[in-house]
Structure 1
């Protein structure tokens, strides 16, 4: 048990790391166990389809329907695995954010612009920090389309002296000053983003931009690349 004087972000970090480790275990088990079984079922259905080529149309339709159900189940499984532990993070945080932005644009029709360093050293971050930043970005993009009704989003990821800064700026409705802060926080998932930032020792701020919209800024203290070599 943590002491009363232990920094809050360390407690949050420990709890969130345990949760992420469990998500990763579940994702791995789903891939290894359920994935192999669904693949075996699909192969069996395909073999039955070949054997039933000369049978009546009703039997062939049922086999085609079964094959489609297996495909749907495999797709749903991969969606769950990606939600538990996005495989795209294996390519690095920047690549993951670019993939997330492209997916967001395809799903919503809202254009985006990525402003980041191409040589961002992923060695600066551990897997838990990467997935926390990824989840914050995903929530911010969700809010931009669903709550802010944005028409454009800018995403930036920049490594400066001793820190990594992620910014997501949309041109949506922003945060009305007259809105109930508690209700607004709950409805848009802001509390969850603050919690994720806190768990990795980062600061998260939200501010309205002059031309309308909202800027989310996450600042994560990191080592410099030279310090990582020592």
Structure 2
């Protein structure tokens, strides 16, 4: 006896319906698979395009850093050349002119008091011009670079203290006064210190600046701390402000690092770290800059 199908359909039509459903499911699965393959292919192409764009961006950024480093080096070379020209031409000519004026003043009798006064005024003007030329030379190229790292930093702090009235203290770790550092590294330290001191004078309302030099292994560090009002390093940079950006690029060109942050209680703390050749460290010094 034949048992009827539960769905009420004869065997032939039921099988046809089942086969149709299976075919439709297979076709839908095939379509989904093909669509998924297309989506995956599009994602792969998108990822490859993003990777290529990222590599191009990195290459462009590296070229930009190299260009900035070249511009900084070119600017320092130009400053050095102008400083030498000021010394060799203008400075020497002013010295020769001063000698002539001094001799003329000495040979002018007291009877010609008006002429002596004019000559004395001319001598004063020459002296003022000589001091101005010397200051310009110092701004273009620090004259103490050949004296070494410690002497250069000490000289800059003394000059800043006299001009600003802000008390400055220089602390040096073991071996710093005797440490031999390349001229370019000394110049980088000087430029960072110079820019930080300018910011202290213009913005911080500080009354004291502490500078600390240390050396450990193949790294030289300088920490600059003031007791001023401080500022927020994360705040948006003003469109016309490039001082810190310039310093970051300069330091990065030497494989170093520059960190700017708020002081522990108040003020600002700037830490510079650059690689140097290993040195023998065997002494320490702390100086108060008057």
Tell me the TM-score normalised to structure 1 length: 0.85
Larger Rg: 2
Give the match for residue 217 of structure 1. 271
Residue 122 of structure 1 and its aligned partner are, at CA, apart by 4.3
1:24 equivalent among 80, 94, 104: 80
Q: Within 2, Cα distance between the matches of 1:56 and 1:24?
A: 44
Q: Within 1, Cα distance between the matches of 2:242 and 2:208?
A: 18
Residue 14 of structure 1 and its aligned partner are, at CA, apart by 2.9
2:237 equivalent among 176, 179, 182: 182
Tell me the TM-score normalised to structure 2 length: 0.69
Give the match for residue 115 of structure 2. 59
2:142 equivalent among 62, 68, 86: 86
Q: For 1:62-211, list aligned pairs within 5 A.
A: 62-117=118-173, 119-120=175-176, 122-123=179-180, 125-176=181-232, 181-183=236-238, 186-187=240-241, 189-211=243-265
Larger RCO: Structure 1 or Structure 2 (Cα < 8 Å, ≥ 6 residues apart)?
Answer: 1
Q: Within 2, Cα distance between the matches of 1:106 and 1:30?
A: 24
Number of aligned residues: 221
Q: Which has the larger displacement, 204-213 or 45-54? A: 45-54
Q: Within 2, Cα distance between the matches of 1:126 and 1:8?
A: 25
Structure 1, unaligned stretches of length 5 or more? none
The 3 A distance-change label for structure 1 pair 218 and 78 is same
Alpha-carbon displacement from aligned partner over 1:178-222 (angstroms, at most 9, x marks no partner)? x95222x85583223223223322211111122111100111123
What is the RMSD computed on CA atoms of the aligned residues? 2.4
